[in-house]
Structure 1
Amino acid sequence: MNIVRADFISTQAVKQLLNQGEIEINCMELRIRPYFSPIKINKCRKCFKHDHFTSQCTNTQLCSQCGQHHPLKEWCNNELKCVNCQQHHYSAHSSCPVAQQKRKQLLRADKSTMCSTAS
């Protein structure tokens, strides 16, 4: 399967291509499908909560390993505990179910925006 990615500034051009369904490039008919870039979520590096940046954070500085407020040193010997889901992983880890759920919400919103733009 050949994949070609094209980025457009004009939403009108995107609408036309999506409605057309295919395009010919170099004597090959290619099917047109919308592309959704990987979703990145905002994550504070101070309190490790989502939806804000470190520069906007008014919360207490937390340890990314144990989620507690203590003097940050080079290595924390406490048990791993995520501040978002309380599970056994670093607070900034991408496997966090809270982060994954947030990513899914943003992807749904992104797809919804794309679909409303394309129609």
Structure 2
Amino acid sequence: MRYCKYAYVGIVVEPMRLVGVVKIDLSTRDSASRAVAIRLFGQSCSGSEPFFVPREPDNPDAEEDDGYLIAYIHDENTQESNFIVMDAKSPTLEIVAAVKLPGRVPTGFHGLFSMYVSE
């Protein structure tokens, strides 16, 4: 049985705002070195749970983290929303693409939408 090495987890603060993403290495027992990458969305920004998309979905030899994380981000100050694409291998989860959305994606819709897009 193959086990996942990485998990991508939302960083949540009160009152239930997802303010970033952390990539966790599940293969190490040292809790101090488990977080191998992090991306904070910004002071007035909150986002959706991250969703991993492999770069080469049909390549069985691809590294587990060879792909992208996608999420929706909303900035409360500017009232702008973006669909962002992050490099999952980058230690800063570098944003490689951002698409400004014409409106806000409602909270709670994020996970369902991502699930249906991937099928």
TM-score (norm 1): 0.25
**Which structure has greater helix proportion?**
1
Which of 1 and 2 has greater Rg? 1
